[in-house]
């Protein structure tokens, strides 16, 4: 049984709250910030890349080379039919049994557009892709991205499933590292990493990766040394987790 600690993200201080809680392992889903708080498991670990210390591996450099013709465009968070068509192909191919498998175009639009913070839709287009068999347009990948005060948070990304040789999931992360580097932002937030999860194992393939564990960010070290489940009695009660969360002082200042 999954349990989450969450708070509404709204009002004049939504961006401050998003910035502050993202640094403490929270993630955004539309107008909600959440963090796993299961009673008998601490497997979900928030992960981020230290941009200044990151260097691509040999295989990642090959991925960058294969995608050299890719064209990137960042726009306001607005959903399109073209994006949804790609989204459906991606889900049907990669996550047909997942919690988002039945998402219709209206729910997709809500995921993209219902954001009270500074968000961008980053589209990646491969010239000539529409001329190949399968895709109906040249859009190869899309990422919904939040711009934080200390980095980029990759809220959700999806890509053309028939282009495995391009390693588009890896490429989108590599490109976000370059976007963050150019903007002088120190981190790229990847979401949650779960030890032993085959679907999330790719995140551990990026060096300079940190995880949020024991209420602090720390280098991941050897991914194989992290236990996927913690004894129930060692997990803090939810009230103690809440008490440790540091929120910004948003009270008006008397002048």
| DSSP state for residue 52 in the 8-state scheme | G
Task: Give me the pLDDT at residue 1, please.
Answer: 75
Question: What is the percent of the chain with per-residue pLDDT over 90, rounded to a whole number?
Answer: 64
Task: Give me the pLDDT at residue 231, please.
Answer: 45
Is the pLDDT confidence value at 60 over 80?
yes
CB atoms inside a 10 Å sphere around CB 179: 18
Measure the CA–CA gap between 25 and 192, rounded to whole angstroms: 9
pLDDT digits (tens, 9 = 90+) for 62-111: 999 999 999 999 999 999 999 999 999 998 887 666 667 778 899 999 99
Task: Give me the pLDDT at residue 103, please.
Answer: 87
Average pLDDT over residues 234-241: 56
Q: What is the pTM of this model?
A: 0.87
Average pLDDT over residues 225-252: 59
Is the pLDDT confidence value at 234 over 60?
no
Matching residue, tokens 């210390």: 53
Matching residue, tokens 């047909």: 96
Tell me if 23 sits within 8 A of 146, measured CB to CB.
no
Is the pLDDT confidence value at 153 over 60?
yes
Is the pLDDT confidence value at 172 over 60?
yes
The pLDDT confidence band at residue 55, using thresholds 50, 70 and 90, is: very high
The residues facing 119 across adjacent strands are 146
Q: How far is CA 71 from CA 62, 65, 122, 175, in A?
A: 17, 13, 10, 11
Of the two residues 230 and 188, the one the predictor is more confident about is 188
CB-based contacts of 239, cutoff 8 Å, min separation 6: none
71-75/151-159 β-pairing: unpaired
Measure the CA–CA gap between 68 and 62, rounded to whole angstroms: 10
Measure the CA–CA gap between 58 and 66, rounded to whole angstroms: 13
CATH number belonging to domain 46-226 = 3.40.630.30
The pLDDT confidence band at residue 206, using thresholds 50, 70 and 90, is: very high
């Amino acid at each position: 049984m999954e349990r989450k600690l969450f708070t509404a993200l709204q009002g004049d201080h939504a961006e401050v709250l998003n910035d502050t809680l993202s640094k403490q392992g929270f993630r955004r889903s539309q107008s909600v910030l959440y963090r796993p708080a299961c009673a008998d498991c601490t497997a979900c670990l928030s992960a981020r890349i230290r941009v200044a210390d990151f260097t691509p591996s040999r295989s990642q450099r090959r991925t960058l080379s294969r995608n050299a013709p890719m064209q990137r465009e960042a726009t306001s968070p607005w959903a399109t039919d073209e994006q949804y068509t790609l989204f459906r192909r991606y889900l049907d191919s990669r996550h047909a049994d997942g919690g988002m498998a039945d998402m219709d175009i209206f729910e997709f639009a809500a995921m993209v557009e219902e954001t009270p913070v500074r968000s961008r839709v980053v589209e990646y287009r491969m010239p000539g892709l529409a001329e190949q068999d399968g895709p109906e347009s040249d859009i190869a990948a899309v990422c919904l991205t939040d711009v934080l005060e200390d980095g980029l948070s990759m809220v959700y990304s999806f890509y053309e499933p028939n282009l495995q040789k391009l390693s588009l999931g890896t490429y989108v992360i590599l490109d976000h590292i370059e976007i963050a580097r150019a903007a002088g932002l120190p981190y790229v937030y990847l979401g949650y990493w779960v030890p032993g999860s085959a679907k999330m194992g790719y995140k551990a393939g990026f060096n300079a990766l940190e995880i949020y564990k024991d209420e602090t960010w720390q280098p991941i070290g050897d991914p194989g040394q992290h236990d996927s489940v913690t004894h129930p009695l060692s997990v803090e009660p939810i009230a103690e987790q809440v008490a440790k969360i540091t929120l910004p002082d948003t009270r008006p200042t008397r002048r």
